[in-house]
């Protein structure tokens, strides 16, 4: 997975130029996407290290997710056996709840590293 870091200087410049924080092209949308994908990656790593099923990573599934900060395309990891069920955003879920949005942003605000 290609790692794209959220650029704070660029975000600050966009905010100062009047760009919206929220919405499809909002300043926070790429940050929510990056943090969500990092959390899903951690979920599959944990799953693979604790499962008794003989499986391994098998790429990603793309889906469009709507959140309070905007809409974005999410890369959800999958395993070869198809048994992995993400908990943050379930297989058929297409909307991020406001609670999840807030938790993701609060984790970031507490200084947790992004992979």
**Do 20 and 26 meet the contact criterion of CB atoms below 8 Å apart?**
yes
In a domain, 10, yes or no: no
Q: What is the per-residue pLDDT across 18-71, written as a single tens digit (0 to 9) for each?
A: 888 877 678 888 888 888 899 999 999 999 999 999 999 999 999 999 887 778
Q: How far apart (Å, rounded) are the C-alpha atoms in residues 37 and 21?
A: 20
SS3 string, 25-54, reads CCCCHHHHHHHHHHHHHHHHHHHHHHCCCC
Confidence of residue 99 (pLDDT cuts 50, 70, 90): confident
In a domain, 44, yes or no: yes
In a domain, 4, yes or no: no
Q: Note the pLDDT of residue 42.
A: 95
Domain that holds residue 75: 29-109
Dihedral in degrees, nearest 10, Cα atoms 55, 53, 92, 108: -80
**Do 79 and 58 meet the contact criterion of CB atoms below 8 Å apart?**
yes
Mean per-residue pLDDT for 100-115? 64
In a domain, 20, yes or no: no
Mean per-residue pLDDT for 89-109? 78
| Structural domains counted in the chain | 1
For CA atoms 53, 58, 59, 61, the dihedral sign is negative
Ranges assigned E (strand) in the chain: 57-67, 70-79
Q: What is the per-residue pLDDT across 70-80, written as a single tens digit (0 to 9) for each?
A: 788 999 999 99
In a domain, 45, yes or no: yes
């Amino acid at each position: 997975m290609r790692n794209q870091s959220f650029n704070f200087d660029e975000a600050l410049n966009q905010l100062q130029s009047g760009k919206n924080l929220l919405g499809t092209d909002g300043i926070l949308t790429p940050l929510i996407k990056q943090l969500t994908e990092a959390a899903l990656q951690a979920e599959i790593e944990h799953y693979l290290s604790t499962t008794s099923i003989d499986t391994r990573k098998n790429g990603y599934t793309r889906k469009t997710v709507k959140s309070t900060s905007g809409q974005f395309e999410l890369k959800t990891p999958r395993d070869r056996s198809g048994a992995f069920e993400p908990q943050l955003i379930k297989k058929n879920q297409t909307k991020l709840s406001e609670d999840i949005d807030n938790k993701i942003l609060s984790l970031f605000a507490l200084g947790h590293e992004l992979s």
